[in-house]
Amino acid sequence: MPCTPAKRRLRLAAVAIPLLLGLALGAGPAHEPARWRELRPGLEFAFLQNVASARSGSARVAVLRVDPARFSFRVLAAPAGQAGLTAGQWRRASGALAVFNAGQYTAERKYLGHLMQDGKTLSRPVPQQDGLFLAEPADESLPRARVIDQRYTAYDPASSPYRQAAQSLMLVDRFGQVRVRRSNRVAHRTAVAEDDQGRILVLVTEGGHTLWELAHALLASGLGLREVMSMDGGPESQLDVKVDQFSYQQFGRAPAAPDLPWLRQPLPAALAVLPRQ
C-alpha cells in the first residue's frame, strides 16, 4: 500500500516525539564539568559552573580537593566564651593553606556536636547527626582522613584512634540516598565529602541553595562522591584558600539582605588544611 502524506507525518511524529521527550527529560548534567587547577601536588581547586540547584545569587560552587596522604587536617577552636574568628582570620593565625567552617553552631555561638582537637574532646556528640569527619589517626594503617556515616559505621570517641573530629549532618550516603528532607530554606552551603579514591572534597556554594536540591546536584556532579556531609550554612558557610600565588575567599551572607554589605561571621570552630610534615 502506498505511503500517503498523512502516514508520513505520523511516522515522523513517532520518531520526533520520543526524541524531544528524551531531550527534555535528560538534558545533560546539572552543571558544566569541573576544570581542575593544581595548586600543589595533591591539592586541587575547581568551580562547578551553572549548578542547577542555585535558587539565588551565583550558580558556581567552589571545590577544594585534598589528598590526605599529602595534606593534614586540624580542628581550630576558640577558647570557651570567645566568638572565634572568620575563616580568613583562622587561616592567617594558623598558617594553614585553607580553612573552612566546621559543623553546626548554636545561636549562642557554641559548637553543636562532637568536636575533637588533637585527641582532646571539646564538645560532646549529639545523636541527631550521623555525619562525622575524622582525620589524623594514631594508627598509620588507617585512612588519614575520612567521612563516616554513623548509621552504618560505629564510632566511639573514647576509643577512636583519630585525633581530629567534627560531627555534622549527613547529606548523601554511600548508597546515593539523600539524607535531608525537602525544604524551601535557601542559604549558602558548605559540604565535605569523601570520593571514591579516598580524597576529601570541600564544596562551598557562592549562591543560595536548599540542602535537598544541592544534594541531588552533587549526586549528578560526576565527582565520584562516596559520602557527603553538610556543614553549617548561611553566614557561617566560609572558605578561605591561600596557596602560593593563588587565593580564593567565599563568605556566606544572611538571606534577609542579599544585596547589602554584610559582616563576616566569626566561627567558634573551623577545619584547616596544612602541608603534611
Residue 55: per-residue pLDDT = 95
Residue 255: per-residue pLDDT = 63
Residue 11: per-residue pLDDT = 47
Averaged in consecutive runs of 10 residues, what is the pLDDT profile of the chain (277 residues)? 49 39 39 89 97 94 99 97 95 99 90 97 95 98 98 96 98 98 96 99 98 97 97 96 98 68 86 96
Residue 10: per-residue pLDDT = 42
Helices (H), 43-108: 87-94
Residue 199: per-residue pLDDT = 99
Q: What is the pTM of this model?
A: 0.87
Domain positions in the chain are: 31-275
Q: Per-residue b/e over 111-143, b at no fewer than 16 CB within 10 Å?
A: bbbbbbbeeeebbebeeebbbbbbbbbeeeeeb
Nearest residue to 39 (alpha-carbon basis) of 74, 85, 70: 70
Residue 15: per-residue pLDDT = 36
d(CA 77, CA 127): 22
Residue 262: per-residue pLDDT = 62
Residue 20: per-residue pLDDT = 36
Residue 30: per-residue pLDDT = 55
Residue 260: per-residue pLDDT = 57
